[in-house]
Amino acid sequence: MDNFSLEVLLSPEQIESVVTDLAEQINRDYKDKKLLLVGLLKGSIVFMSDLMRKIKLPCEVDFISASSYGSSTHTCGTVKITKDLSADISNYDVLVVEDIVDSGVTLSCILDILRDRGPQSIRLCTLLDKPDRRIKEVFVDYRGICIPDKFVVGYGLDYAEKYRNLPSLCVLKNIDG
Ligand code: IMP
Ligand code: MG
């Protein structure tokens, strides 16, 4: 059986300060806009819940879920939407909220699909960015923090669906080597 250890990369206090900075930028930029936060399930849920409570403007929230396998009516390359938004976005200034941009493959595809639906504007906010791993270029409008090319869990991010509930962001290490 695999044996993992966790090393804290960002404490809850450090995460909170990053989220506060992002919310301040969003509060400045979205005055007089019709803001719709779109979270990518499931990784963004904890970040979304903290970020939205620091946004002091009227806003709405929706979620979308994608996977690189399985069956769905909407596809883009190998990425499929498995749970779509609940409403039309054409009247909204959409801000996609993501946990981490890694290869950029899933995200660039989702951004293309959402852009085709004709929102008033569309931007991306990610808590974490792993630029070393990028395969597909994605423009990040609001970036929390760049991290090294390590596999991280906690604060919504998982390994095999586990560790999402950790309050810190941790590097997952395989101690069996
Ligand atoms: P992409 O490679 O940028 O398309 O990222 C796809 C998804 O993989 C992200 O939204 C995350 O949910 C997940 N992911 C990428 N890197 C990590 C990581 O270090 N830990 C946990 N999940 C990750
Ligand atoms: Mg994600």
User: What are the tokens at 39?
Assistant: 């979270």
Contact yes or no for 95/36 (Cβ under 8 A): yes
Q: Which atom of ligand 1 is nearest to the CA of 103?
A: 2
Predicted confidence (pLDDT) at residue 71 exceeds the cutoff of 90: no
Q: Quick one: CA dihedral 37, 21, 53, 126, positive or negative? A: positive
Mean pLDDT taken over the chain: 93
Residue nearest to atom 2 of ligand 1 (CA): 103
Q: Using one digit for the tens of pLDDT, what is the confidence trace for 130-140?
A: 999 999 999 99
Q: Is residue 101 exposed (0-12), middle (13-18) or buried (19+ Cβ within 10 Å)?
A: buried
Q: Contact, 97 vs 89, CB < 8 A?
A: no
Distance 58 CA to ligand 1 centre (A): 29
Ligand found nearest the CA of 9: 1
Question: pLDDT per residue over 144-165, tens digit each?
Answer: 999 999 999 999 999 999 999 9
Ligand found nearest the CA of 64? 2
Give the model's confidence band at 177: pLDDT under 50 very low, under 70 low, under 90 confident, else very high: low
How far, in Å, is the centroid of ligand 1 from the Cα of 100? 6
